[in-house]
């Protein structure tokens, strides 16, 4: 793939991702939908699924604009943002495919806008990262890819500590008691790190 073709593909794919995220967010925000994300309006920002997809949508919008500028587009900060966004939505995707889908059923997980946030946007984002975007990611930068999940995890556990488990443990990290929360948190960190390592290895550097 030539540099010009890759650039056109990157602009197109990131534009599509940004539009899909905006469409799904608008539907979720406007009215409650059947599916796994309970609620509507600003309340749905409590879910990592929503936050990670909005993060990816914003990064895709910024990336598409930057790629249209005449300056060289393989900017370091842009590559790192794309990496962190791909890892974040990748965590959502693999959590659904490995755990939530088998437990609750894939038709339930993919109803309404959940189809976009759980499947379409994550898969498209990871494919765009692996095969279209260019730029080296060092091993030590895996932490950067995991950082959105870490920030969310600390907020989630902090919210449980301050406001209590009842009504706030919507991911069931501590539904069997506080002793389960550190284990659940550690497992999510491990999964995010594994996804970050995988996306680093499958990413084309040049």
Taking only the tens place, the pLDDT of each residue in 24-35 is 988 887 776 655
Could you say which DSSP state residue 42 is in?
G
pLDDT at 205 (0 to 100): 65
Considering all CA atoms of the chain, what is the largest pairwise distance in Å, rounded to the nearest integer? Answer: 55
pLDDT tens digits, one per residue of 71-80: 665 688 999 9
CB 205 within 8 A of CB 83: no
How far, in Å, are 82, 85, 119, 137 from residue 79 at the CA level?
5, 10, 22, 8
CB 49 within 8 A of CB 28: no
Q: Please count the other Cβ atoms lying within 10 Å of the Cβ belonging to residue 144.
A: 16
pTM for the whole thing?
Answer: 0.90
pLDDT at 118 (0 to 100): 94
Closest CA to 48 of 184, 202, 197: 184
Between CA 169 and CA 167 the distance in angstroms is: 6
pLDDT tens digits, one per residue of 143-195: 999 999 999 988 988 888 888 888 777 777 777 777 777 788 888 899 999 99
Residue in the structure block whose two tokens are 């949508």: 57
Write out the two tokens for 200. 């680093």
CB 67 within 8 A of CB 18: no
pLDDT tens digits, one per residue of 123-150: 999 999 998 888 888 888 999 999 999 9
Between CA 158 and CA 172 the distance in angstroms is: 14
Could you say which DSSP state residue 141 is in?
G
């Amino acid at each position: 793939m030539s540099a010009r073709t890759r650039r056109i593909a990157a602009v197109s794919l990131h534009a599509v991702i940004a539009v899909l995220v905006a469409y799904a967010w608008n539907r979720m925000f406007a009215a409650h939908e059947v599916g796994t994300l309970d609620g509507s309006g600003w309340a749905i920002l409590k879910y990592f699924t929503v936050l990670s997809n909005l993060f990816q949508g914003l990064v895709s919008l910024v990336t598409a604009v930057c790629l249209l500028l005449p300056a060289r587009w393989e900017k370091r900060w842009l590559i790192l943002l794309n990496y962190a966004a791909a890892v974040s939505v990748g965590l959502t995707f693999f959590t659904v495919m490995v755990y939530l889908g088998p437990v609750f059923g894939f038709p339930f997980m993919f109803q309404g806008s959940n189809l976009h946030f759980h499947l379409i946007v994550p898969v498209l984002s990871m494919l765009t990262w692996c095969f279209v975007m260019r730029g080296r990611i060092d091993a030590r930068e895996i932490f950067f890819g995991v950082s959105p999940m870490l920030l969310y995890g600390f907020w989630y556990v902090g919210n449980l500590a301050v406001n209590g488990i009842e009504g706030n443990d919507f991911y069931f990290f501590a539904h069997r008691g506080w002793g389960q929360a550190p284990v659940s948190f550690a497992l999510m960190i491990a999964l995010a790190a594994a996804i970050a390592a995988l996306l680093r290895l499958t990413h084309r550097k040049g």
